Chains A and B, each alone.
Chain A
Amino acid sequence: MKGWIIDCYPDYEHDCTVIWIKTNKGIERLVDRCFFPKFYVWAPEERLMNLADDLTMFDVKELILEKKKIWLGEEKKLTLGVTVNKYGSLNQLARMVSRWGDYKDYSLFNVDMRFEQRYFLAYDLFPMGLAEFGKELRSIDSPYRLEYPIPNLRASNLRVDVKARNGIPTFDDPIGSVHLDKTTIDGPEESILTDLDSIVRKIDPDVIYTCDGDGFYMHYLAKRAERNGLRFDLGRESGGRFSKGKSYFTYGRILYKPPAHKLRGRIHIDTSSSFMFTESGIYGLIDLSRLCGIPVQDLSRLSPGSAISAMQVNEALRTGHLVLWKKNLPERFKTARELIVCDRGGFIYEPGLGIHDAIVEVDFTSLYPSIMVRYNISPETVMCDCCPDSSRIVPEIGYRICEKRIGLIPRVLDPIIKRRLVFKRLMKGDSRRREIYEQRSKILKWVLVTCFGYTGYRNARFGRIECHESITAYGREILLRTSEIAERRGFRIIHGIVDSVWLEGDADPTGFCKEVTEATGIPLQIEGKYKWIVFLPTITTDVGALNRYYGLFDTGEMKVRGIALRKSDTPSLIRDLQTDMLKVLCKTENSEEFERTIPSVLEVTDRYVRDLFDGKTPLEKLVITKRVSKELNDYRQWNDSVAALKQLSHKGFDIQPGDVVEYVICDASSHSASERVRVAQFLRGDENYDADKYIEQVLRATADLLSPFGWDFGALQDRMRSKAAESRQLPARAHRPFNRREMREAPVRVQQRR
């Protein structure tokens, strides 16, 4: 029999591994009672023997002396392999051994690995791969195949309607109805739950999609079932795998990760919380799952960084290495001067502000990963012991790079880079399978992007800051060389950032790209030719900002970066406004026409302002989404988000830091939480909104696009004021600069005017 491995997990109660295989006929459940996980210990030989003696007193399955490489690129050393008898005892035993050695004498390996990853490696299997089973389970597929058969997965969408008393559903609210694909189940709660259970069993889907299943609904359904005295399980086997939700801080933001609710034998994907699913869809997930050996259900809840880590671990284990538990690789001491030279990012040319005609944008495809492969950058190759006189020297910082062997990271990345290029090429040819190739190439892109960051992450399995420094140093060198070639060929550089350059001039871009590709060994491609492009200043100063621009390609497509339209907290009103403005600008061919069109763009703004003032703008367009960074009590200042949080907490809802609140501003000057804003979920539809506040936002969004042309926020306000004076259509007070005190005395209410 043949089939695809869709799920694999340990059964801690019975100490066996359960594997679910999707065949063309249906589903098979296999149980493996022979597999037991193993960890390794290294210490000087004598101590190791003593340890082996001591361990025989414990309930271990096997103790074996093996020669293994304990760090990348090192020679093999004698280690003690400990196979445990019980799945649950591995961590306990490892901790005990570590304690015996006062946490320093023994180095432990292969301790904190994903269980299924161990299993797949031990038997040379991989998830979503075709396998043959009968007497034994055997892979008949290769993870690197470009074209491979995908199981015909049956998918169902699950949606739950809650009879929420307060607008926001809670565990205390009863179920209203449940929708499974096109079937609606309603009636008394108990029968909804039993019906759902039997329908799921009948349809027997392989994948269940939910929106916010992890965050709320799966847990909610289980709680409701409990309350009705029912057992509830959507998996093919009872029992789930849960994890707790948590808030965490990353890159200056607090984010919230909802608790996982994984099913057994079925794949539950929460479309709202899975970054990788949103980015690349199921085909991307399947491709990556094959490559990194993590089942789709688990993978959908991980970050691309975990996937690349898993691939590195797999490669290391396959080549006879062990993976150190609690890695401790301190950064070597550097002087302040060294730090200033080494610790830097990508190279940047400040953009020339305003509009430019006929610009070519050229990009390096996956620059940083390509550098790692081309220049052999890996934790064990940078400043290796074996090549002190290496001729490969990192520019600027002078690290020497190994010439004798290829590092782990390049070995892992090379096939991924090539794979992505193939998918990108295939995408252009085959229109039928275009979507599949696109999703696959997208997920690989994310994996490549995160790979670079992981080299600079101290806690990453194979992170080492010197790699990070070398990569950025090569990156800067390459961009500089690119600009030299560009200038020699008669281009003028308008803007450049890390891996892309914007060029002005009549020279031949194709020939230029070819020359750079040959000179640097990394492919440079034309991203597109712009009819015109506008570089915008930062919001606070009028110096050019990186990554804030919009431009029109000669294909008629627009590229927009860094303006309100692209930001997640922008109300859809502002998004519509900027889209409408860009639609007008889209019709212009060059900067001259562009500037002539500005008056008609301002008319778009006028239309939005008038609608706002007349109370015609629908409330749902005004909803602002904000990420909460603290708990309500930790906030010191009084603002819209705090008002929304207060309103929510009043009705008994606690919002975790990192989660979002959605609200409409009703009266920005009010000191009362209930009057200042209205939380989106509590909207009844007859609320008054704060027209002045939103008009201010409209003007700011207009200035966002037009400030290089003399229309900054102040100028737009003046214009509106004089226009109002001319037409007398709008009362003058809305056009005066924003004045809080005055507003407090007599808040403008749209409804009052009617």
Chain B
Amino acid sequence: MFDEMMKKARMHASASTYAAFLDPLEGFVLSILLEQEKSLRALKEKNEER
């Protein structure tokens, strides 16, 4: 599970660098939240189709 989270953070590593957060954790958490939001939406859409 933790590896999955790390992967999500890594997927946005370049973008986080560009945003230049003072605390790298901000980019880390935001990346994970963003990916979670994406999968939530995908699941919701799937549910509505059904």
Partner of B10, one of A340, A344, A345, A541: A541
At the interface, yes or no: A349 with Cβ under 8 Å from chain B? yes
Which residues does chain B contribute within 8 Å of A554, judged by CB atoms? none
Shortest distance from the beta carbon of A487 to any chain B beta carbon, whole Å:
15
Contact status A347-B18, CB under 8 Å:
yes
The residues in A between 529 and 548 inclusive whose CB is less than 8 angstroms from any CB of B are 541-544
Contact status B18-A476, CB under 8 Å:
yes
Contact status B11-A543, CB under 8 Å:
yes
The residues in A between 503 and 543 inclusive whose CB is less than 8 angstroms from any CB of B are 541-543
Which residues does chain B contribute within 8 Å of A544, judged by CB atoms? 11
Which residues does chain A contribute within 8 Å of B20, judged by CB atoms? 340-341, 344
Which residues does chain B contribute within 8 Å of A541, judged by CB atoms? 7, 10
Q: A336-B22, A542-B7 are in contact. Are A350 and B17 (CB under 8 A)?
A: no
Which residues does chain A contribute within 8 Å of B7, judged by CB atoms? 541-543
Contact status B22-A337, CB under 8 Å:
yes
Q: How many inter-chain residue pairs (CB < 8 Å) link A and B?
A: 28
Which residues does chain B contribute within 8 Å of A543, judged by CB atoms? 7, 10-11
At the interface, yes or no: A348 with Cβ under 8 Å from chain B? yes
At the interface, yes or no: B47 with Cβ under 8 Å from chain A? no
Which residues does chain A contribute within 8 Å of B22, judged by CB atoms? 336-337, 340
A337-355: CB near B (< 8 Å → 1, else 0) gives 1001100110111100000
Contact status B18-A350, CB under 8 Å:
no
At the interface, yes or no: B13 with Cβ under 8 Å from chain A? yes
A543–B7 CA distance with the chains assembled, in angstroms: 7
Partner of B14, one of A337, A340, A350: A350
Which residues does chain B contribute within 8 Å of A348, judged by CB atoms? 14, 17
Shortest distance from the beta carbon of B1 to any chain A beta carbon, whole Å:
15
| Interface size, chain A (Cβ < 8 Å) | 15
- A538 nearest in chain B by CB position: B10
A354–B21 CA distance with the chains assembled, in angstroms: 30
Shortest distance from the beta carbon of B2 to any chain A beta carbon, whole Å:
13
The residues in A between 99 and 113 inclusive whose CB is less than 8 angstroms from any CB of B are none
Could you tell me the dominant secondary structure of chain B's interface residues? Answer: helix
* Interface-central residue, A337, A344, A349, A543, by most chain B CB under 10 Å: A543
Q: A337-B22, A340-B20, A340-B22 are in contact. Are A349 and B14 (CB under 8 A)?
A: yes
A694–B47 CA distance with the chains assembled, in angstroms: 49
Which residues does chain A contribute within 8 Å of B18, judged by CB atoms? 344, 347, 476
Which residues does chain B contribute within 8 Å of A341, judged by CB atoms? 20
A627-662: CB near B (< 8 Å → 1, else 0) gives 000000000000000000000000000000000000
A683–B15 CA distance with the chains assembled, in angstroms: 51
A147–B37 CA distance with the chains assembled, in angstroms: 62
- B6 nearest in chain A by CB position: A541
Which residues does chain A contribute within 8 Å of B11, judged by CB atoms? 350, 543-544
Which residues does chain B contribute within 8 Å of A350, judged by CB atoms? 11-15
A242–B44 CA distance with the chains assembled, in angstroms: 74
Shortest distance from the beta carbon of A69 to any chain B beta carbon, whole Å:
37
Shortest distance from the beta carbon of A419 to any chain B beta carbon, whole Å:
34
Shortest distance from the beta carbon of A593 to any chain B beta carbon, whole Å:
29
Which residues does chain B contribute within 8 Å of A349, judged by CB atoms? 14
A347–B16 CA distance with the chains assembled, in angstroms: 11
A307-337: CB near B (< 8 Å → 1, else 0) gives 0000000000000000000000000000011
Which residues does chain A contribute within 8 Å of B10, judged by CB atoms? 541, 543
Which residues does chain A contribute within 8 Å of B21, judged by CB atoms? 340
A341–B17 CA distance with the chains assembled, in angstroms: 9
A476–B18 CA distance with the chains assembled, in angstroms: 9
The residues in B between 1 and 39 inclusive whose CB is less than 8 angstroms from any CB of A are 7, 10-15, 17-18, 20-22
Shortest distance from the beta carbon of B14 to any chain A beta carbon, whole Å:
4
Which residues does chain B contribute within 8 Å of A337, judged by CB atoms? 22
- B13 nearest in chain A by CB position: A350
Which residues does chain B contribute within 8 Å of A336, judged by CB atoms? 22
A476–B21 CA distance with the chains assembled, in angstroms: 16
Shortest distance from the beta carbon of B21 to any chain A beta carbon, whole Å:
8
A336–B10 CA distance with the chains assembled, in angstroms: 23
- B12 nearest in chain A by CB position: A350
Q: A336-B22, A542-B7 are in contact. Are A344 and B17 (CB under 8 A)?
A: yes
A347–B18 CA distance with the chains assembled, in angstroms: 7
The residues in A between 339 and 375 inclusive whose CB is less than 8 angstroms from any CB of B are 340-341, 344-345, 347-350
A345–B18 CA distance with the chains assembled, in angstroms: 9
A419-433: CB near B (< 8 Å → 1, else 0) gives 000000000000000
A341–B21 CA distance with the chains assembled, in angstroms: 9
A476–B14 CA distance with the chains assembled, in angstroms: 12
Which residues does chain A contribute within 8 Å of B13, judged by CB atoms? 350
- B14 nearest in chain A by CB position: A348
A733–B13 CA distance with the chains assembled, in angstroms: 42
- B3 nearest in chain A by CB position: A541
- B11 nearest in chain A by CB position: A543
Shortest distance from the beta carbon of A93 to any chain B beta carbon, whole Å:
50
A350–B18 CA distance with the chains assembled, in angstroms: 12
Shortest distance from the beta carbon of B28 to any chain A beta carbon, whole Å:
14
Shortest distance from the beta carbon of A683 to any chain B beta carbon, whole Å:
43
Shortest distance from the beta carbon of B5 to any chain A beta carbon, whole Å:
12
Which residues does chain A contribute within 8 Å of B12, judged by CB atoms? 350
A722–B34 CA distance with the chains assembled, in angstroms: 41
A542–B7 CA distance with the chains assembled, in angstroms: 8
Shortest distance from the beta carbon of B35 to any chain A beta carbon, whole Å:
12
- B24 nearest in chain A by CB position: A340
* Interface-central residue, B7, B17, B20, B22, by most chain A CB under 10 Å: B20
Shortest distance from the beta carbon of A238 to any chain B beta carbon, whole Å:
58
A543–B35 CA distance with the chains assembled, in angstroms: 14
A543–B13 CA distance with the chains assembled, in angstroms: 10
A345–B13 CA distance with the chains assembled, in angstroms: 13
A345–B11 CA distance with the chains assembled, in angstroms: 18
Shortest distance from the beta carbon of A665 to any chain B beta carbon, whole Å:
32
Which residues does chain B contribute within 8 Å of A345, judged by CB atoms? 17
A-B contact pairs, 21 of them (CB 8 A): A336-B22, A337-B22, A340-B21, A341-B20, A344-B17, A344-B18, A344-B20, A345-B17, A347-B14, A348-B17, A349-B14, A350-B11, A350-B12, A350-B13, A350-B14, A541-B7, A541-B10, A542-B7, A543-B7, A543-B10, A543-B11
Which A residues have a C-beta under 8 Å from some C-beta of B? 336-337, 340-341, 344-345, 347-350, 476, 541-544
With A340-B21, A347-B14, A543-B11 already in contact, 13 other A-B pairs whose C-beta atoms are closer than 8 Å: A336-B22, A344-B17, A344-B18, A344-B20, A347-B18, A348-B14, A348-B17, A349-B14, A350-B11, A541-B7, A541-B10, A542-B7, A543-B7
State the 9 A-B residue pairs at the shortest beta-carbon distance, nearest first: A348-B14, A543-B10, A340-B20, A341-B20, A350-B14, A543-B11, A543-B7, A337-B22, A340-B22
